[in-house]
Amino acid sequence: MSRSLLPEAIEAYSASLVIETEAQKKLRIETAKLPMAQMQIGPDQGAFLTLLVGAIGARKAIEIGTFTGYSAIAIARGLAPNGTLLCCDVNEEWTSIARRYWKEAGLEKRIELKLAPALETLDGLIRSGKEGTFDFAFIDADKTGYDAYYEACLKLLRPGGLIALDNMLWSGAVAKPEIKDDDTVAIRALNAKISADPRVDASLLTVGDGVMLARKK
């Protein structure tokens, strides 16, 4: 599964223009050695997330699917002073790497990790009265769960808040009707749903493997 639809030379050029912190560089290099390295977002997408979060003045953010923590660093860097990021994941091994680099980046006090099924965490927040209190959400986890994550995050976001969903082009598979595996079907259906959803303004961007950006009305 390709991380980007761009030609390799263009992706490398784009990445070369991104200024990363030392912690981000080291984390990206370490993660590249893992068998599931393709799950990590690229530096261009990381810079985009930092810019988005900063542009809306986000103070409270949530991430569904953390892996080794690169996207969490990108989001946390963009938060307003005293801002916080809640990360939802189930993998102790990968997130132990994340914790190391969050500390190295000086962001460990801004990031809370919840090791539990994401829907349990999201539903718990909703039940505890946190609807409408988050500014930003990034969804990058199991694709068949995306619709449920989207609905929960939409409840948790304030009006004007943003949801960014990763892998929404799925290496181009969504544009090929003959591909009908569960992940592709789920992503294709959610793209159609969000684009027609009257609750949001949305745009599917060709950043990385495709980012669907939805702004809650």
Residue 12 above 90 pLDDT?
no
pLDDT tens for residues 68-117? 999 999 999 999 999 999 999 999 999 999 999 999 999 999 999 999 99
pLDDT tens for residues 43-82? 999 999 999 999 999 999 999 999 999 999 999 999 999 9
Q: What pLDDT was estimated at residue 15?
A: 83
Q: What pLDDT was estimated at residue 11?
A: 83
pTM of the model: 0.96
Residue 3 above 80 pLDDT?
no
Residue 148 above 60 pLDDT?
yes
Q: What pLDDT was estimated at residue 14?
A: 87
Mapping DSSP onto H, E and C, the string for the chain reads CCCCCCCHHHHHHHHHCCCCCHHHHHHHHHHCCCCCHHHCCCHHHHHHHHHHHHHCCCCEEEEECCCCCHHHHHHHHHCCCCCEEEEEECCHHHHHHHHHHHHHCCCCCCEEEEECCHHHHHHHHHHCCCCCCEEEEEECCCHHHHHHHHHHHHHHEEEEEEEEECCCCHHHHHHCCCCCCHHHHHHHHHHHHHHCCCCEEEEEECCCCCEEEEEEC
